[in-house]
Structures are given as structure tokens and as C-alpha cells.
Amino acid sequence: MKRIAVYCGSTVGENPIYGEKALELAEWMTRHQYDLVYGGSKIGLMGILSTRLLTNKREVFGVMPNFLKDKELAQDNLTQLYMVDDMRQRKQKMMDLSDAFLAMPGGLGTLEEIAEAISSSRIGLHRKPSVFFNVDGYYHALESFFDTMTAEGFLDEENRRTVLFSDSLEEIYDFIITYQPPKTGVYDK
């Protein structure tokens, strides 16, 4: 694995730990020689993460919809900035460029992007791992909901295991490098 798509907030949030963990994630990615695929912005957690990775001489690929181009949000000195027509194309391009998907704390856009990556895996469009970096318990309620979906028969056990919720970067690393995709997508059966 070479590239990780990171979905995260375009703001830094209220708790300083989110910015601290973005820096920690950047150092972890550098140490394990991962490059970044992300939304292309220089603001919020996206800016913290991309700036540190660029400083650390990692490759950073941004994917930004054209309607944001004139807002001067794009990070400087990216390895490559892909401009796409809309958010749907952005999500697809990020999935195509990446070997794994990781969500840091963020809002509805973050949730939508990681949910599409997970759903695409479930129906067999790709076989890549998805992770929620559960900083300070941010994703506890969502993890509980995933468990409820499984208990109620809307998500099978095999596909539930394709998504990790963790606050440990070393556990995340182990999950990514040992990842075994389901034998089939839900509609392949």
C-alpha cells in the first residue's frame, strides 16, 4: 500500500486534540511511507495534515471540485491537484487513487465520503480497507451503530470486519497491512 485517502474536517473542531492527532497521523504516514490523497484544501484538519506531509517530503494528491477553485482553498505545492466537475467525481477519483481509506473527525462531508468508500467495497467495486481514526472517542456512536446494523441483519459479519474503528495508529497499521477483503461483495453471492 502506498496511498491513503484521508477524509477529515475543513475546520479544526473545538478540541485541540483533533489538530494534534492530524500532526501525529502525518508523522505516522511519513514513518510508514504512505502518501496522501485528500480534498486538496489548505484549511482545517486537511490543511494541518497536508502541510506536515509536504514538509516531510511525502507526495500529496488533492482532488477538488471546480466550484471551489476560485475560493483560494487549494493547498500550495501539491504533488498534483486534480480538478473535477463535482463532488461525485471527487469521491470516485479519491477512491481510484487510494489503497486505503481513513476518516479523521469531520462533519457530514467526511461521513459521506467514508460511507461511500465502505459501501463501494461492500458491493464489490473495490477491495480496500476503511478505517475510522476514533480520536478521543469521536466515532464511538457510529461504531455502535455499525454493530447494531450487524446485530439486526443489515450488515453481515464478514463485511463488518472490513471496517476498523480505532484510536491506535499501530492497530490501524496492522489492520491495513494484514487486510483481507471479503471473498465476494454483497451482490456477488
pLDDT tens per residue, range 150-163: 999 999 998 899 99
Share of the chain above pLDDT 70, in %: 95
What pLDDT, on the 0 to 100 scale, is given for residue 68? Answer: 84
CA distance linking residue 110 with residue 100, whole number of Å? 15
pTM here?
A: 0.94
DSSP 58-96: --EEEEEEGGGGGGT-BPTT-SEEEEESSHHHHHHHHHH
What pLDDT, on the 0 to 100 scale, is given for residue 189? Answer: 47
CA distance linking residue 17 with residue 2, whole number of Å? 26
Residue 157 grid cell: 459479519
The whole-number average pLDDT for the span 23-42 is: 97
The whole-number average pLDDT for the span 33-57 is: 97
CB atoms within 10 A of CB 21: 24
What pLDDT, on the 0 to 100 scale, is given for residue 186? Answer: 56
The whole-number average pLDDT for the span 13-38 is: 98
Q: Is the pLDDT of residue 43 over 70?
A: yes
CA distance linking residue 138 with residue 159, whole number of Å? 22
* Positions of E strands within 8-140: 35-38, 60-65, 80-84, 100-103, 130-133
Sorted by where each starts, the structural domains of the chain and their CATH numbers stand as: 3-136+157-175 (3.40.50.450)
Higher per-residue confidence, 185 vs 47: 47
Per residue in 64-103, pLDDT (tens digit) is: 999 887 667 888 899 999 999 999 999 999 999 999 999 9
CA distance linking residue 142 with residue 44, whole number of Å? 22
Query: Which residues 6+ apart lie within 8 Å of 175 measured at CB?
Result: 129, 131, 164, 166
DSSP helix, strand, coil percent of the chain (3-state; round to 5): 45, 20, 35
Q: Is the pLDDT of residue 51 over 90?
A: yes
Per residue in 96-143, pLDDT (tens digit) is: 999 999 999 999 999 999 999 999 998 989 999 999 999 999 999 999
